[in-house]
Amino acid sequence: MSPPAPPSPSLGFGQNAAAFARDIKLSHSIFALPFALCAAYLVSREASVPLSAWAAIVGAMVAARSSAMGMNRIADRRIDQLNPRTTNRELAAGRLSVGWAWGLTLGTGAAFIACAAALSPLAFALSPAVLVFLWGYSFTKRFTALCHVYLGVALGLSPICVWIALTGGVGAPALLLSAIICTWVAGFDMLYALQDRVIDAGLGLHSIPSLIGERRTLALSAAFHLVTVGLMAGLPAVVGLAWPYWIGAAMITGLLVWEHLIVRPGDLSRMNAAFFTANSAVSVVFFVAVLLGS
């Protein structure tokens, strides 16, 4: 494969930032953000959470994910050039330079730490370790098929981090929210990785699909999402939620079932619908269900 053309040196910050945003799919910040806001909302039922804290939480979530995804694109740029599905990504295609990618990755990482500092001294002290853990995901598929679970844990840190930042400790609701995110994300990431099963195996990379095959991956993903549904059913017992929450939980269950119905062995043609449409709706519906059920 011929190397991509180098980015034009004339591109300024705005154009490079836009290319970076496209490469990391900035809009996908919606996946975990509502769960972080759920944690803040549940804390607010017992103690005041100022508007500035809400803004800092949103900023921290977007910045942390942006930095983590930037590291992922940097770490995988050579792999992305060899994968037909990812060869047109901005960094892999040469429309974004490695230097700009590093600068924006480190810059958004610094923004995350700054937002954590605005929340509490404890959040500030812990934020570098959290950032390093998030960056670590980008390297996991080089040595373990459990990379999908690592990703779930990485996103699942969000409600725990919010709870610590606002209360100084970890509560049972935050742990339960984290478990919901972890099983949900790990389950859908296994599905998404089905697209790269063959090329991952060829490149010596690790994933659940390349380890156990397509049908078993579909079954394991469904099992993870079954656990997700069970954990959602347990939340009202921990935080006290009324009947509107159950409507939202039923809607999420329906979305997950639909996701598994449209991704079938030998037919991944509707993967984008399963991944983007269903999963972007899950977290939003969950947040609304918690609000209405309180």
Which two three-digit tokens encode residue 269?
Answer: 């043609």
Which two three-digit tokens encode residue 73?
Answer: 């694109």
- Checking if the pLDDT of 225 tops 60, the result is yes
- Checking if the pLDDT of 200 tops 50, the result is yes
Question: Of 1-15, 34-48, 74-88, which range is least confident?
Answer: 1-15
The CATH homologous superfamily to which domain 17-293 belongs is UbiA prenyltransferase (1.10.357.140)
Which H/E stretch holds residue 78?
A: helix 77-82
Q: What CA–CA distance (Å, rounded) separates 46 from 271?
A: 41
SS3 4: coil
pLDDT tens string 83-110: 999 999 999 999 999 999 999 999 999 9
pLDDT tens string 126-167: 999 999 999 999 999 999 999 999 999 999 999 999 999 999
pLDDT tens string 38-59: 999 999 999 999 999 999 999 9
Q: What CA–CA distance (Å, rounded) separates 72 from 272?
A: 20
- CA of residue 204 relative to chain centroid, distance: 24
pTM: 0.92
